[in-house]
Structure 1
Amino acid sequence: YIDLSSSISFDEKQNGLIYAADINSFGIIMIEILTGRRPLNGYNFDAEL
């Protein structure tokens, strides 16, 4: 048995960041479900700067 709650920090700023990341992740998953493809699919990430 591993108690995962023991590794969670209860800092308010960090919890706000975790909440924002959860909202972002939910949005990405919804885009994938609604469009049937991954976000930024076909985008060239290897472009020269």
Structure 2
Amino acid sequence: MENRVATSAARRDRSRRERLRGAGFRPGKIWHPDTRLPAFAGDCRRFGRP
């Protein structure tokens, strides 16, 4: 029973990490935007304009 619970928790964690990475985030101490993605530079330019 404990093994199934651990597997279920691991599956949820993996799914959450995949969703965050898919949204353009990468892990650190906290999840933050992945500055290595090409779209990041475009977003910075777009958000930086008045």
TM-score, normalization by structure 1: 0.51
Partner of 1:39: 27
Please point out which of 1, 4, 11 is paired with 1:22: 11
Higher strand residue share:
2
The answer for unaligned runs of 5 or more in structure 1 is 1-11, 42-49
What CA distance in whole angstroms lies between the structure 1 residues aligned with 2:26 and 2:6? 24
Q: TM-score, normalised by structure 2?
A: 0.50
> Helix, strand or coil for the counterpart of 2:26?
coil
Question: Aligned match of 1:13 in 2, 5, 26?
Answer: 2
Consecutive aligned runs of 4 or more in structure 1 exceeding 6 Å deviation: none
Percent identical pairs in the alignment equals 14
